[in-house]
Structure 1
Amino acid sequence: MKKSRILFASLAGSVIEWYDFYLYGTATGLVFSTLYFPSHDPAISLLLAFLTFGAGYAARPIGSIVFGHMGDRMGRKASLIFTLIGMGGSSMLIGVLPTYAQVGLLAPVLLVALRLIQGIALGGEWGGAILLATEYAPKGLRGLYGSIPQMGVPIGLVTGSFSLTLISYLTTDSQFMAWGWRIPFLLSGVLIALAIWVRSGIEETPAFKKEKESGNIAAVPIVETFRKDWKNVLRAIGLKVGDGFFNVFSMSYLLVFATVYLGYSRDTALTALTIGCATMLVSIPVFGYLSDYIGRKLIYIGGLVLMFLLVVPYFSIIDEGAGWLYLMQAIMLGVLWGAIFATQGTLFSELFPANVRYTGLSVGYQVAAALAGFGPIMWGAMAESFGPSPWVFGGFMMAGLTLSIVLSVFMPGSEQRVVILNQRKEKGAIIQK
């Protein structure tokens, strides 16, 4: 199996899954708050709409358990096909969903249900894409391979936001609200079909094949994970929480924060987001490659520490003008978070043995993501009470980053993890004798 096809399969599916997930996030403020959550108070409509956005994050741990079980029992490939079907089907249905004016309360109920399906699908996609890349990686290039599917996040976000922006530009306001916004959701059906075709042609990963041939398949992966690796699940949650809140802010809530509280136009805010994502497309593979030579742990800690030091200046400077907003998005999102995210998938996967790796990796990451997903609700309340205060918002981010920094310092490196796993196997062999 050609490595290039494996990487393309992991990246293509990841791009499309994140396209759908972030397309919903962009449509939340533009469309859903008006068409599905009408209220005499626009702030209440926006809050309700962002609750459904957070619901997608809340559902992701469910997906990590369901698809983690499938991935550790049936194989990575089978699980990744089903995540695409779940995401594509729910996105297409959103594209034909009647509005509140047409069917009343049934409209927001159905919208929330479809958003939950999106979250469940994405909860299984991320870990599987990482394993598809890393478990096929040649020796000494696991960090680089693990960084490739991570590029799906910035690509998916930009394409999702751009698709709505393009449709908005090509239609009048009334046309956009009537039917234009539905086009990008319906288009996802075509993209998902393409990704399924690509993934259906790949073979199962060598690591899973080895576990299956040896009979070392966990009966109930989630039980096995928490029986032997519960500390690493908690470690992964804590390691992700710190950058997770900043990630959600700078890639989702920024559009509201910059336009509502800082007075920027939507075009300016969207340009800043695009600049950050474009920078990530360069930084992610670079840091992934470097992690194979100077160590993933070192890059991860460095990214967290620098983000901690710059997060208050970030909130202070982005109010000074569009140029500063662009620069800080490039530095904080594109470089620092790019460094953290580039190493995250590979780093977390190295915490778990192959027979429960899909489950352990996914549950740890997605529980943290679920916590971070409700950030917009808290930030909305903070902004209403304190305004765009650098110390309030910066202090919030610093609290989470402190936890991640402490845990990362005491995190075992990949070499130490190998020793631990070997000791566990030796201990098991002695018990069997």
Structure 2
Amino acid sequence: MKKRRLQWLMAMGMVWAACFLFPARFLTVPAHASADDRPIYIVHVHDTINPGLQDFIEHAIETAEKDSAECLIIELDTPGGLVTAMRGIVKAMMNAKVPTVVYVSPSGAQAASAGVFITAAADVAAMAPGTNIGAAHPVTATGGDVPETMNEKVLNDLVAFVKSIAEERGRNAKWLEEAVRKSVSVTAEEAFAQNVVDLVAQDLPDLLKQLDGWQVQRKGYQRTIHTHGKAMVPIEPGWRHKVLRAISNPNIAYILLMIGLAGLYFELSQPGVVLPGVIGAISLVLAFYAMQTIPVNYAGFILIVLAIIFFILEIKVASYGMLSLAGTLCLILGSLMLFHVPGQPFRVAMPVFIPTVLTVSAFFAGVAALVFRAQMKRPQVGVEALIGAEGTVTQALNPEGKVFVQGELWSAESDRPIAEGARVRVVAVRNLKLHVTGINDK
């Protein structure tokens, strides 16, 4: 009996010892225990380069790193976008702990302007036949040239940036510099021949076939990509990324700001309407959220707020339109300056700016005029409404009697006798007794 108990205790001790000596084997199972289990993540980018897209790409890279993905494929089709968002995406790709593949696809797609930098920053750059890449010269948000005083500074900065990417990734630095300086553009086959991209793939299966066994080398990083038999996992943008991508456009952020200020202004001038205030508050929150990701010139923002203050004062102060004029001027200057940050070649587009300023200014001035007219209008109810009203004497005034005014019979008095049936006008009200004067019949 004692021998059996001793054997049982020895067995239990061996089990506990094994658990402590080999915890990884007995207590944990890695999410991807072998290289064969690594998935291939893919994201589809068919949009302008904006802060919302930057946030989504950074999220996709973090997800791929966390899940030890084999690689992250970015299917790209973009006309370009904001420099700041492009720099953020390139930075995330250059420092990613998983191989990144940019595939300009499908046929007819392009990697223009900011898309050139993103394609060049990938570990593997690929294009589908019928696509093109290039035209990376910086322009403003409206498509015009950057002002001459700023053009050289911005251009030289972007040239240095794209050359550093080319040197890091072993691409054709000379062609990439010309894409920025001269807006040159090439087809997929020409880009491959000039070492701008690494391969040309007919479609996604062809891309995966060519990627299988591809060696990715960076400073302190080396990986062989294996794609055969790997699961393809798409990464879809969540509601947060969708909203941010929609409102990160400076034009949309500006319109939301104007709607928000107009709604709150209407609610303050006409308390109790509620709906304009609710819409205004929501629009302002969305505008402020977007402005966190867009470089903002706060002098412009302060001028817009000052314009709202002037419009509100127009309601309280009889300035004969001078405050409304000052508010309109501040609104125009503030709108021009709002996203005009030195070094950033974009601002509110004129087709958006002009009708928005005119509409909002007219709205503010119209509401101020309505409120001012309501304040100056003679009261329609109460004792004050009787002043100036006309009526008929029903009981002769000598000096007191009765008059019929606004459908009611009132006690009245007059400074001189007035006969019954005569027409009178109310000039004062004292203790619910009307003081009237006669009206001469013509």
**What TM-score, normalized to structure 2?**
0.21
Structure number with greater Rg is 2
**What TM-score, normalized to structure 1?**
0.22
Between the two structures, name the one with larger relative contact order (CA 8 Å, sep ≥ 6): 1
Structure with the largest fraction of strand:
2
Structure with the largest fraction of helix:
1
